[in-house]
Structure 1
Amino acid sequence: MGRKAGSLYINPKKFGAVTKPCMKEMITFLNCLSINQMNDEKCVRQKELLSACMDAQTNKKRKPGGSINYQLQRLSRGRK
């Protein structure tokens, strides 16, 4: 279930399924930085992989209103 903080309803299931698309690349880049005492000249390959992953994420387009719940709410508004 959820918890109430004042009058705000928080659904913990919503935050548990958040995807982390470039986490692997970011961890490898940060590990490389920590090994090389924050010298990013030695971590060029990991930096390029992280940049490529982040660029690929910004180019993805989401379908607006694609969920089944959105469509059901839209249809029920028309019936009233």
Structure 2
Amino acid sequence: MGRKAGSLSINPKKFANLQKPCMKEMITFLSCLSLSQGNDQKCSRQKSNLSACMDAQTSNKRKPLGSINYHLQRLNRGRK
């Protein structure tokens, strides 16, 4: 599992924090649940906002591009 000297690599976990599209809605829903002692009947508006945001995210049918490290390895091969 060692790495070769001079190879390019990026930790993808650092870039995973960049896109969290429904975080605001989820935080408002969870805070409403904690204030109402788990009664989700009182938090119906926050729940509908969260579900609408999540539905909008699943409708984005985009082809995955592959990992960044894969593309860096391709660039490194072409450089040699």
Q: Same fold (TM over 0.5)?
A: yes
- What is residue 40 of structure 1 aligned with on the other side? 40
The CA distance in 2 between the partners of 1:62 and 1:8, in whole Å, is 33
Query: After the TM superposition, which parts of structure 1 deviate over 4 Å for at least 4 consecutive aligned residues?
Result: none
Counterpart Cα distance in 2 of 1:51 and 1:25: 9
Point out where structure 2 has 5 or more consecutive residues left out of the alignment.
4-8
TM-score, scaled relative to structure 2: 0.65
Larger relative contact order (CA 8 Å, sep ≥ 6): 2
Helix, strand or coil: the match of 2:46? helix
* Local SS of the residue matching 1:21: coil
Identity rate, percent = 57
Aligned to 2:13: 15
CA distance in structure 2 between the partners assigned to 1:27 and 1:59 by the alignment: 22
Question: What are the superposed Cα offsets for residues 16-41 of structure 1, whole Å, 9 maximum, x if unpaired?
Answer: 22211100000000000000000000
RMSD: 3.2
Note the residue ranges of structure 1 that are not aligned, 5 or more in a row: 1-6
Which structure is higher in strand share? 1
Q: Distance in 1 between matches of 2:58 and 2:23?
A: 15
